[in-house]
Structures are given as structure tokens and as C-alpha cells.
Amino acid sequence: MSETRSVLVTGGAGYVGSVLVPRLLAAGHKVTVLDLFLYGHDVFDSVRGHPDLIQVVGDIRSPDAIAKAMTGCDSVIHLACISNDPSYELDPDLGRSINYDCFRPMVKAAKKAGVNRFIYASSSSVYGIKEEAEVTEDLSMEPLTDYSKFKALCEEILEEEREPGFTTLTIRPATVCGYGPRQRLDVIVNILTDRA
């Protein structure tokens, strides 16, 4: 049996989080979601009333919201961000404030709160364009846009903040696709599927 964790998922009411949070609950973990819930609270209808789900309405740029959401958590899965180049480019200052400026303060707040595991959802876009047939973690980061540059910089911050008792992990997903309770139709595979 795996260890039960108390997990904060930032941006947990988004596309990925809307699938991840119910799975974490089903695996027996306690889950706190920190999100602005801009698209409503119905994203968690399938787990409404679950005794191990706490929903905190707040902004990751707010130290008070971060501190409240991290109370009692031993793990963080950081998903919250302006999530792709076109969205980022709509308001670069907003994108930077969410995707980069608040990152180190959040990591430091996690350490202060006693979190011992921090997982960061970066992006495969940090690689830029590669000639290699297979892109692996061993290849250099060559981000081409502000979105990917700030993702890469956050990876470096997280590496700098790693220390004994504070385990960090960065994942670099490619474009996610498929159905989620908080459906996104602005990702390329979903756009192609819709148009087919």
C-alpha cells in the first residue's frame, strides 16, 4: 500500500487538475485545491462532499492564499499557470506574474509550511526546436518564447531550492489532450479532433 499524502494542487480546477484531483482522492490522499475557480465549482461535481477534499478560492500570487492552502500539506503539485504561448501572449505582464514572479516565494512558503515534496509541471517547450530524433532530459533547454523561458527559469529556481528533506521533481509534459471535466478546446489535438 502506498503512503497517504496530504497534497496541495495549485490550479487544481484546471484541465489537468480536474482529472488529477479525483484520482488522488480515489488513491486515498487528502487533497487541497488552490484555484481562482474562474470557470465555476462544478468541475468537482463527481467528488462533491468528499471528506478529503478542501477547495481554497485564491490566487497563487497571494502569500495569504498560499499559506492557507499549504496548511497541513506535505506535498505540492504545482499546475497553476497561464498555460500556453497564445494565452500567455494575450497579457505578458499577467503571464509573468503568474508563471514566474510568484514561483520562488511559493517554493519558500512550501518549505516554511513543512512541505517535503514539490512537483512542478513545466513544459516540453523548454527544449525549443531540436534536430535530434529523440528528445530526452539530457538535452539542453533552449526556450524560444517568454512562456517557455519562464518555465525553464522556474525549473532552475526549484533546483536551487532543493535540499535534504525537500524533494523536488520537474515534469515536462507535451501538449495534453483528451476529455476532462474542465475541458479545453484550445489545445491542438483537441482542436484537430473537434474539426475532424
Phi, psi of 31 (to 5 degrees): -130, 130
Q: What b/e sequence results for 78-103 when a residue is b if at least 16 CB atoms lie within 10 Å of its CB, and e otherwise?
A: bbbbbbbeeebeeeeeebbebbbebb
**pLDDT given at position 1:** 41
- Of the listed 88, 100, 120, 147, which one is catalytic? 147
List average pLDDT for each run of 10 residues in the chain, which is 196 residues long.
87 94 97 94 92 98 98 98 84 95 98 98 91 86 92 97 97 77 61 70
Q: Are 35 and 13 in contact (CB under 8 A)?
A: yes
- Other beta carbons within 10 angstroms of residue 166's beta carbon come to 16
| pLDDT value of position 86 | 79
147 in catalytic set: yes
Q: What is the pLDDT of residue 52?
A: 98
